[in-house]
Structure formats: C-alpha cells, structure tokens
C-alpha cells in the first residue's frame, strides 16, 4: 500500500527516483532489480497522484550501473538502469516530456555508478540545487527507507536542508546492511558537519572503495596461498 495520499499533500517541485541494489547485466543489457521496479512503480503513482495541469513536476532518474559491488561488465550504448526504470514510469502514464534526462535535456557524461555518484551527478548537471526547493515545494526522493537515510545525509552534505526533502518509500523493507553502509559512509565519506562539493564526496568514496578492493584481494591471496601450502603437506 502506498504511504501517500491519506492526508493533504504538499506538492513537491520535482521527483527523483534513485537506482536500487541488485541490478544485473546480461549480454550488455541492464536488468533492474525487483527493488528498482518497485521504486519506478511507486514514483509513477506518486507523480500521478497530483494535479499536473500546470507546471508539471519533473521526474528525474540518473541511475546507471553498479560500480563497486557487482563487477558489472560494460553496457551497450543507451543502456542504463534509468532507461529501464523510466520506461516503466512512462508505461504507467507519466509523459515523456517531464522525464529528465531525455533527448532534449541529455546528460553531459555517463549515468551514475553509486548513490554518492548519483547525488553528485544530479547536482553537477544542474538537475537539482538547494535553491530550487523549500518546505512548501520540496524535492521528493523515491527509494527504500534505509537507503533513503543515506541519500538524505548525502544531500544535506551538499547543501540541502531536511525541510527541502520529502522521502517517498515503498512499504517493503530494504536490506539491513544499509544500516552498516550508512555508518561506514558517515565516518569515511561524509566526515563531519561541514558542507562540501559533491565531487569531493565522490573522490572520498573512490578512495575508500579502492582500499576495500585492495584489502579484499590481499585476504583472498592469503587464503589461496594458505590452502596451497596445506595441500602440499
């Protein structure tokens, strides 16, 4: 059951639907996860619940492909999680002209590769900015509840106020590991209370994930070496 519509709603200025964990790639084609499909459907229903006769809300999605955890191979040209999700959103009745990016408003670079990169891309491309929203015209973000807590923290780090954000979440719960990820990001990526440019957060994430990759490889190498020595004895 949707969590909106039970009482008078403050009409958001825009809707951003975030990509979801679990996307996969087969023969260069993206396959959105069940969580991503759920978010796309919820975003469409949320948009359609408001009168869009004048100044329709934009529907924004820049989700591309997971970078750090899935080892996903390169995608074919034009393939992205956003393309898959917005196709669903259009099929449910949201008109193409309000969806960003599109042919008239393209991205200057590829789609995002993580939640940090997603926030950075949204800001750097000028799709969203703190000055565009307020308590009476917030930015609605569509994603699961635990993931939303991390996204809100990232958006506040780049200058958004909590009152400028409206979280719209599916009723189903997302992974409990999101709690652990949020703690790690708060310590290693967000680091304190000062606002920073979005690109700084991206660079911090890259360094953290590169270190994690090196540690993982070292652990695997040591385990492989230990198993090899044991097999000889």
Domain extents for the chain? 14-232
Chain centre distance of CA 81: 10
Closest Cα to residue 20, out of 29, 12, 9, 30?
Answer: 30
Per-residue pLDDT in tens (0 to 9) along the chain, 233 residues:
455 544 457 899 999 999 988 877 777 677 888 999 999 999 999 999 999 998 999 999 998 876 655 556 666 667 788 888 999 999 999 999 999 998 888 888 778 888 999 999 999 999 999 999 999 999 999 999 999 999 999 999 999 999 999 999 998 888 888 888 889 889 999 988 889 999 999 999 888 878 877 776 777 777 677 666 666 65
pTM of the model: 0.86
| Predicted local confidence at residue 222, as pLDDT | 74
The torsion angles phi and psi of 207, rounded to 5 degrees, stand at -65, -45
DSSP character string of 106-121: --SSPPBSSHHHHHHH
Given 3.40.50.1370, 1.25.40.10, 3.40.50.620, 3.40.630.10, which CATH number is that of 14-232?
3.40.50.620
Q: Residue 131: how many CA atoms within 13 Å on its side-chain side?
A: 1
The token duo for 223 is 């385990």
CA end-to-end distance (rounded Å), the chain: 60
Q: Is the distance from CB of 72 to CB of 65 less than 8 angstroms?
A: yes
Cis peptide before 101 (omega within 30 of 0): yes
């Amino acid at each position: 059951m949707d969590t909106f519509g039970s009482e008078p709603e403050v009409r958001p200025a825009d809707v951003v639907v975030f990509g979801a964990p679990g996307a996969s790639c087969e023969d260069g084609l993206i396959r959105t996860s069940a969580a991503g499909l759920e978010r796309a459907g919820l975003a469409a229903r949320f948009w359609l619940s408001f009168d869009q006769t004048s100044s329709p809300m934009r529907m924004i999605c820049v989700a591309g492909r997971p970078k750090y955890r899935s080892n996903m191979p390169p995608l074919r040209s034009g393939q992205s999680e956003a393309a898959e999700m917005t196709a669903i959103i259009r099929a449910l009745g949201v008109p193409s002209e309000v969806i960003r990016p599109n042919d008239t408003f393209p991205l200057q670079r590829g789609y995002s590769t993580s939640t940090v990169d997603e926030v950075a891309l949204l800001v750097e491309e000028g799709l969203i900015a703190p000055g565009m929203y307020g308590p009476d015209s917030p930015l609605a973000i569509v994603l699961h509840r635990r993931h939303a807590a991390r996204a809100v923290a990232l958006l506040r780090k780049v200058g958004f106020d909590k009152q400028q954000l409206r979280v719209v979440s599916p009723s189903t719960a997302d992974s409990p590991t999101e709690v652990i990820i949020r703690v790690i990001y708060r310590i290693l990526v967000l680091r304190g209370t000062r606002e920073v440019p979005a690109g700084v957060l991206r660079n911090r994430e890259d360094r953290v994930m590169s270190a994690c990759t090196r540690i993982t490889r070292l652990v695997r190498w040591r385990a492989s070496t230990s198993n090899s020595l044991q097999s000889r004895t």
